[in-house]
Chain A
Amino acid sequence: MLTIKNLHATVGEEGLEILKGLNLEVKPGEVHAIMGPNGAGKSTLASVLAGKDGYEVTEGSVVFEGKDLLELETEDRAKEGVFLAFQYPVEIPGVSNINFLKTAINEIREHRKQEPLKAKEFMAKVRESSALVELDPKLASRSVNEGFSGGEKKRNEIFQMAMLQPKLSILDETDSGLDIDALRIVSDGVNKLKNENNAVIIITHYQRLLDHIIPDFVHVLADGKIVKSGPKELALELEEKGYDWLNAEKV
């Protein structure tokens, strides 16, 4: 589904290199966890995959479902089925959640040559998706993330994931800001959305999320590269030992 080869990316006007030859292969039905120290480039990877302005790919390739992802505009990547749950969701005063999701869904449906959703179907989907992450229905109709608590913002991200049903979801620290119950609810939501045709990349610092959403692979991203990959047990080892031993191992 997603093949990243030797990805190098710089950020900002000075062209500071953040990703330094990253490789990753994600197949349908898989869950990948990416862990790694602060500033390693995890969110940068997410931004590069989503096509954010200000990031420049200087080397390497990203192929998604047979298409060169890097050639596509941000919105077209979304239409192809890439979804990013933000580490820091953006507040958009005045734009209602519902309103913008209706626009988004219909743009995506148009791309897939499907008819626009009828108002009734749409509302049913809103109800179903908000129930999935136990998002207060009142929040669904409020301005996007405006005045939402940290946890509500994260739920809102997964609510949107449920609404848009992407093929590949990149969840950037969705667990941060969630209380213990919310963590379980949101994880259950993600698990319910999971099937053999879609895939999830989970960026996290903590094992606790991976207790709920069991990864098939765990990768360590350090200094712009995947420096170690392993089965789910790797996460436990990281939690116990931190990241320093990886450096020692390399030497």
Chain B
Amino acid sequence: MEITAENKVLKFVEGLIPPSDGTSIRKEALQALNGMDFPTTRVEEWKYTRVGRITNKTFQQEERKANIEKYKITNLDAHLVVFVNGYFDASLSTIKEDKALSVQSIEKLDLDYYSEIMEETEENVFSLINKGYQTGGVYIKVGENEKTAYPIHLLHLTTGEGIISNAQHFIHLEKGSKTELITTYDSDEAENSFTNIVIEGHIEENANLTIQKLQFEEKNVFHISNEFFVQDPSSQFKINTITTGSLLTRNGLNVIVEGENCHTEMNGVYLGTENQHLDNHTLIEHLYSNCTSSETYKGVMDDKSTGVFNGKVIVRPNAKKIEAYQSNGNILLSKSSTVNSKPELEIYADDVRCSHGSTTGQLDEDAIYYLRTRGISEQKAKKLMVAAFIGEVLDKVDNSDIRKKVDQHFLEHFGWVF
């Protein structure tokens, strides 16, 4: 009998429903997956994040009915597109009349267009598993010079044990268009399930995209997201990522700026408790001149939780007069919490203004004492200070309904008032 080395990726996908028809995007992903392996911590990009806890398990795809009421955003007047376990649920979704917008199945995305746009992006084993085995997703298009009448809420819920949620989305903003995308992730009794999401986007010239991402899953699931965006000249892209969820979260966010006069903004807040591992990996790659980018991430880690921030900014040789600002601040609330913060600036051009800063520390004891001498309990004093610390980033969430949802979530889960 011949002994072959066991390929973990093949084993991992073995139980997944083999894609029958398959678009060419799917076929390409399956091909690329061949011979790939899961990253170990020897791989620089995954140095601080062990994926073994995910990859040693097997998951199945399972379409389910669910009640999503409590995962909706109060008062938010938006197109609602619902995915349960990675499957589109038409009965729960409401796409309103909006001449600016077309929402189709991801299967409708044209391979030629897609390959050309996404040429520069780097896939990884999880994005390929997603694309090879996706169970649904939307291809959103905002028409030239149009602004959508409503934001678009992509609501993701994972429910049931050992599920893999593999939704794949693409958002295309044509020239001069504008929209706001809200992506939320929740789970319900989803022990050992795995959300493996891909969102890609193309922001054409003069277009403007804002994303509000809320990763609020419970602490018994896993979450890996791969987000890739390409910006054309004079476009604006902003994403706010609020993460409190999952046992192991890896937010992979990559933006390639392929034109002059663009602005890119990434803000993030991550709050870890218990044994959570929250990893934010970002990349901004400047290929052209006269662009600005701004990145602010703040983390608060309690109990035995671990935070990872890796923010890479690349300024290519031809990109002159780039202003790139990055900062990452962390507060450790307990002795057993840790943060690995790694800003990485790779600058190959001259005449560039880049700044970055990373801090990790405890709450100021003197400040806590000061507040206590005014009659505020130690617990409340800490909350006030944590709220002040992340409030600066939360204030960048400029949609009041989303902000309320975030505030509500923090109050319920951490007792924090902002």
Contacts and interface: CB of A to CB of B under 8 A. Distances in A.
Interface of A: 50-53, 73-75, 77-79, 83-84, 86, 89-95, 99-101, 103-105, 107-108, 111, 143-144, 160, 164
Interface of B: 364-367, 369-378, 380, 384-385, 387-389, 391-392
A127 B376 CA distance: 22
A162 to B, nearest CB: 13
Contact of B385 (A83, A89, A92, A107): A92
Contacts of A103: 376, 380, 384
Contacts of A95: 367, 371, 384-385, 387-388
B375 A79 contact: yes
22 contacts: A50-B373, A53-B365, A73-B372, A73-B378, A75-B373, A75-B374, A77-B373, A83-B373, A86-B373, A90-B364, A92-B370, A92-B385, A93-B388, A94-B389, A95-B371, A95-B384, A95-B388, A99-B384, A100-B374, A103-B384, A104-B375, A104-B376
Contacts of A78: 372-375
A52 B371 CA distance: 12
Contacts of A50: 373
Contact of A74 (B366, B367, B372): B372
In the complex, the 7 A-B pairs of residues with the closest C-beta atoms, listed nearest first: A94-B388, A78-B375, A104-B374, A74-B372, A90-B370, A108-B375, A95-B388
Contacts of B366: 90
A93 B367 CA distance: 10
A75 B385 contact: no
B374 A101 contact: yes
State the majority secondary structure of interface residues on B.
helix
Contacts of A79: 375
B369 A53 contact: yes
Given A75-B378, A107-B380, A94 B373 contact: no
Contacts of B385: 92, 94-95
B374 A160 contact: yes
B376 A100 contact: yes
A52 B373 CA distance: 9
A30 to B, nearest CB: 22
Contact of B376 (A53, A75, A77, A94): A75
B370 A89 contact: yes
Contacts of B373: 50, 74-75, 77-78, 83-84, 86
B412 to A, nearest CB: 19
Contact of B369 (A52, A91, A94, A144): A52
A103 B387 CA distance: 13
A131 B364 CA distance: 30
Given A53-B369, A86-B370, A107-B380, A92 B364 contact: yes
Nearest to A80: B375
A5 B380 CA distance: 33
Nearest to B384: A95
Given A74-B373, A77-B373, A91-B367, 13 more contacts: A52-B369, A79-B375, A83-B373, A90-B369, A92-B367, A92-B370, A92-B371, A92-B385, A94-B389, A95-B387, A103-B376, A104-B375, A107-B375
Contacts of B387: 94-95
Nearest to B379: A75
A111 B375 contact: yes
Nearest to A170: B373
A86 B372 CA distance: 13
Nearest to A86: B370
B415 to A, nearest CB: 13
Given A92-B364, A94-B389, A107 B371 contact: no
Nearest to B392: A94
